[in-house]
Structure 1
């Protein structure tokens, strides 16, 4: 057994074998895979093997599509048939709202080259007469996917990996990980059979690996403890049953009927597929419990739990309704096994928080579908430094080490499981484990009608609904069109454009970077000029490929002290990158101190033509009438001021594009400041404003947002932000930024869309002649222009004011036109207003 390798993959399921295969294919010739038992002995062996392309996530759709395409060519390469039945995937809808969901998904699918067809109930019945269609509205049908044998595809990838030089060692368990400063030393024990259990023997080896990948499936919590970190990958019970032969199905096939596609009855929380003349029924029911919260018992191997038929009785009866001929079929077999989940259903793929060269591939609830693509894109990240798509939405650091717990993960994973077939509105907010992280003003905001969203655990107002609304108002008002919340957001956006509004931005990520090396480090770390003391600047930290890794607003508080503000959803993601970069440059730049002060400072953003009037009423200054004037407090500057008894680090900037300030204040004084501002705002009609209105307003100013317009698949130059890139200096990622050039360009479009809907920011874009040319990254409604608005990436030659495009909304193409950058107040006269 080799004891020194380039990369060690821990876990021999479908995901682990795919990663080993793709690392070898990408050129690493010293790769080893360890499996504590036999290949496929974890969740892989009892997976149903479905390959659904349906997904609302851009990155995950790419991953699934790669898997489907990859599995089709495995037999040619390895000689092993992976058992891929390309029967298609029929996803049915019982309601118009479900069809609305499919229409939004379909537009997203087009941007990833995933094909589909629309079928009416009559067309479904004509092709598959055993299906009861009387209560259906229609269906979306994918012809390219179907189902596969999980064990066979895993063995095929394993053979392909061996053919490329990968060493696969079975019955070896990783027991400890130690980073020696240059590589990982992994202590491994030989596993022995004893009384039906697997137990570690006294035989041990230490494998030294430059890189380690963990793909430990249900054993994720054991892996996390060995690494000294936390990640929310905890299994949930998943049940499916195999039925005896259905005589009607046997007769249908005997008479030339083609095999049924995988039939997904989303409104009945179930899927059905053929199995040797009978049917398999799989369900995603309520009440399925999380298991192995603290680790898998040594006695649990390729085992199952007892079937709980009462828990799935409703779904079983729904299947009989959907396929009446199955009613007389008996139960042939049943499966109730652990499937790992995460709170949002996306796996954890990427660098482990705080660790060097440790890569996670954990929490795969759809592991067979995702295995091929995960191996492909993770190998790109490891070998090339970045993947060709933005993988941030799968990054393990989206769940912070500071607040994520076992209880949180278990309860959210149970919720995620029973939400698999729940309608996934774009404005979806899930209720489990909330509220968890609340700023002091939470109760005051809730009392004023706040309907909250979830951002990195924080409760943040999305909008303010009716004061007499029950807590369920937000849930009841969601829609794929303009929900009941829409008019409230319109009024909030108008308040900022016409008067004054107050936004809670406490969730912002905040870091202090200081020390003798801080200035030299940040100058190299970011692509824009650093601001002078007392001033601010917008800048970007880039990846090694020159794409956008993080967006920062940097306030220079002293010669070598900086206050860095970034997106609230990405606190640990930003902190990890910042700290590792500083450590790498310690010898070059000297001592740098980095403090995460996110929970120390609350933030209120006040904006609108009357915002100065509100602040003038409470500011304590020798001359309060001029304290906030352009002369004493110019645009893009920062000052320490006093509002009543509250010390405030005020920044003159506004994400809404109006006259305004961000008021960074001590968290413990937030309620005092809220009350003070609310009282001062009454004479001016100040309105509390949520994140949805703010999102619309920033699009009117063409302000790019990290996670939508800004990400690891486009450079700041492609985001059309050359004014924030100083090519006269050296900075991380500069060479690749210049080499990449401008492949596509970001621009803003105004849309003559439907009367009852706006884009959400995932729709396909076309030219007038029907050529698909890009996709929206953001969408919403413009109160200034009275029509839909969006931001997008298109070829550079189309990103020109006046270019006519078309955007697909609700399966129809609507006229759109490229507008100028910052179509509202393009000269920034409003935001610079003096007083």
Structure 2
């Protein structure tokens, strides 16, 4: 057995073998360890479906790669992975479901995924065994289907061996120790004893430069060994196999093709053919999480008892859709653990706080995602970045506040929501409210309808008493739209107050702080008392993090970044500071996120509101441009509250961010609302803010900004100081301009706005995609931001955007179409 490798993969399911294969293909000396037999975890009882359907741009690419890759394995390895390319049919019983499919289809288009639309009549003509009279229509993917999970895993394992990887079975990892340059992994030989798998006395240590954990149901054990929180906990998933259906047998004997994988999302199930019968897989309510604190050592290729009562509703709906199945008996059943995460997406990427440790955990659709996950994770490991932005799957999207109870509640919810309508404005209720700013109750009393970001409750909009946020959701303009529009108008015409407490906030200080931040970010550092917007780049020269930096002293900086990316940003910052300490000197990074609350006050009347509260020797000039210019920061007093005030406004109006001691938040909130009553002040939520920032062409991290575009491609040239050296500069310059970020005004449908995932066309040619979308109160039409070919990023260029089932006219406009000279932001008083 080898005792030193470049990369050690722990876990021999579909995901682990794919990672081993792709690392070996990249030329890395790779070993895979499996504590039992390959496929002995959830892989063996997976149904093997390969659905394309996913609202995530990154995940769609991962699924697309898998489906294409699996079709090449037999030629490479000689092993047939059992891929039945029968297609995938998603039926819709409602207009809302068809709207969901149409929105998804725009994501499919941007990734080059083929699909077809079918009417109920066409469905009945193709597959007469189905009842179609209560359907609205369907979307059909002709190029996917289902695969044999064990066969595809063995094929990838053979491919990995052919590429030089070593695969060792019956070895369990018992300890991980980082030496500062490599991992020492203590492993124990396992043996069969009375049907159980037990450790022997044989142990050895493997050293590896990199370790990847793909431990599936054993993720909680992995978490304990690494000292991490990993919110990957299994949930029971049942499926049943029927006896042969005589009508189906006759259909196939007549020479007809196999049915596609059928999905009636409104009924919450999938069905496919299996040896003349049917497999029914429901996603029912009340499926329990299992093994919250670790999978028992005795649990191997085992199953749980079937709970037919729990899936009775779904079973009856299958009979409704396939009437011939009513008299068919049950042949087999499966109820096994499938790992989930709170949002249903895998945890794929570098582990928080650790070096050269990579997680590939929490795969609820592991067979579909295995091939692509191995490919893109191998790129991330061997090249520094993947060709797609993997941020949305990063394990650090959950912070240290996350607990086991939280993961259990959210994972059970994620399972139940597999076939729930995925509105772009959806907010799932489990484990909420959890993290609340002190003013939560006050905002709720004012009608706040909350969203959740990093566990924080954050107002999306404010509505009258009795308003039902769930009923207000839509793929078009939901019932909340009118309230968000009123809030956006208030900021443009009078004033609005936004709770921004969820911002991530760090103080960076010490003798090396200035030199470090100058290297770490691409813009000039601000002078003392001033504010700069800047970016930290990835090693590929793309945007890794966006920061607002306030320089408080010569070597003291206050960094503000997106609340949704708190742990993600902090890990990157801490590791970079540690790496450069020997070169630049000591740097202290302090997380002060929960120390300070933040209110953003913006609008033409913002100065007048603060003027009634500020305590200053000369209050008449305290907020003037001379004493408090744009992009500056001052310590001020608003009544009894000391405030670190930043003269910035993400909405593009005159405004301030008011960073205050969080324990004084309610006092400050009350004083601001009192002072603003005569000035037309309205509480404002995140949705209106998102619309307003697009009118100013302000890029947002996670949409316009990410690890698949450089700051120059994002149109952030004015924030890049090419006269200095900074991390990622050479790679950024070498990349050139593959695409450009633009702002577009859209003549769209009367009842809908884009959501920011739609495909852009020049005639019949797809030329880009939207990354954000919404409504412009300044222009009275839809607005969006996105990326197009550089030659099309010229103001006045006419393109079109796919929204639902039609193309709509769009025009590329100058950046910051609202107030392009920033006169309103710089307004004096």
Structure-2-length-normalised TM-score: 1.00
Distance in 1 of aligned mates of 2:729 and 2:613: 45
Distance in 2 of aligned mates of 1:307 and 1:134: 32
1:759 aligns with 2:754: yes
User: 1:417 Cα deviation (Å)?
Assistant: 0.2
User: 1:662 Cα deviation (Å)?
Assistant: 0.2
1:782 aligned partner: 776
2:438 aligned partner: 440
| Number of residue pairs matched by the alignment | 829
Distance in 1 of aligned mates of 2:804 and 2:550: 43
Other structure's SS at 2:470 match: helix
1:127 aligned partner: 126
2:414 aligned partner: 416
Distance in 2 of aligned mates of 1:262 and 1:114: 17
Other structure's SS at 1:808 match: strand
Correspondent of 2:553 among 558, 566, 569: 558
Other structure's SS at 1:732 match: coil
Other structure's SS at 1:225 match: helix
User: 1:299 Cα deviation (Å)?
Assistant: 1.4
Distance in 2 of aligned mates of 1:297 and 1:215: 17
State whether residues 187 and 207 of structure 1, in contact with CA within 8 Å, keep that contact through their aligned partners in structure 2.
yes
2:740 aligned partner: 745
Distance in 2 of aligned mates of 1:49 and 1:811: 31
User: 1:810 Cα deviation (Å)?
Assistant: 1.0
User: 1:158 Cα deviation (Å)?
Assistant: 0.2
2:427 aligned partner: 429
2:727 aligned partner: 732
1:626-661: per-residue Cα shift (whole Å, max 9, x none)? 100000000000000000000000000000000000
Distance in 2 of aligned mates of 1:168 and 1:771: 46
1:512 aligned partner: 507
1:44 aligned partner: 43
User: 1:381 Cα deviation (Å)?
Assistant: 0.3
Please, which runs of 5 or more residues in structure 2 have no aligned partner? none
1:820 aligns with 2:814: yes
Distance in 2 of aligned mates of 1:649 and 1:11: 49
1:316 aligned partner: 315
State whether residues 107 and 811 of structure 1, in contact with CA within 8 Å, keep that contact through their aligned partners in structure 2.
no
Other structure's SS at 2:469 match: helix
User: 1:195 Cα deviation (Å)?
Assistant: 1.6
User: 1:553 Cα deviation (Å)?
Assistant: 0.4
Distance in 2 of aligned mates of 1:21 and 1:11: 13
Correspondent of 1:803 among 797, 800, 806: 797
Distance in 2 of aligned mates of 1:529 and 1:742: 22
2:2 aligned partner: 2
2:209 aligned partner: 210
User: 1:422 Cα deviation (Å)?
Assistant: 0.1
User: 1:328 Cα deviation (Å)?
Assistant: 1.1
User: 1:355 Cα deviation (Å)?
Assistant: 0.2
Correspondent of 2:618 among 616, 623, 631: 623
Other structure's SS at 1:585 match: helix
Correspondent of 1:480 among 464, 475, 480: 475
User: 1:588 Cα deviation (Å)?
Assistant: 0.2
Other structure's SS at 1:534 match: coil
State whether residues 524 and 732 of structure 1, in contact with CA within 8 Å, keep that contact through their aligned partners in structure 2.
yes
1:683-719: per-residue Cα shift (whole Å, max 9, x none)? 1110000000000000000000000000000000000
Correspondent of 2:695 among 700, 707, 714: 700
Structural mapping, 1:6-17, within 5 Å: 6-17=6-17
User: 1:293 Cα deviation (Å)?
Assistant: 0.3
2:24 aligned partner: 24
1:644 aligns with 2:643: no
1:269 aligned partner: 268
1:366 aligned partner: 365
Distance in 2 of aligned mates of 1:182 and 1:808: 50
1:503 aligned partner: 498
1:458 aligns with 2:456: yes
1:286 aligned partner: 285
Structural mapping, 1:707-722, within 5 Å: 707-722=702-717
1:105 aligned partner: 104
Distance in 1 of aligned mates of 2:439 and 2:199: 53
User: 1:257 Cα deviation (Å)?
Assistant: 1.1
Other structure's SS at 1:599 match: helix
Misfit runs of 4+, over 2 Å: none
Distance in 1 of aligned mates of 2:218 and 2:336: 14
Distance in 1 of aligned mates of 2:322 and 2:210: 50
User: 1:742 Cα deviation (Å)?
Assistant: 1.1
Structure-1-length-normalised TM-score: 0.99
1:525 aligned partner: 520
Distance in 2 of aligned mates of 1:764 and 1:644: 50
1:336-388: per-residue Cα shift (whole Å, max 9, x none)? 00000000010000000000000000000000000000000000000000000
Distance in 1 of aligned mates of 2:107 and 2:57: 7
Distance in 2 of aligned mates of 1:721 and 1:742: 12
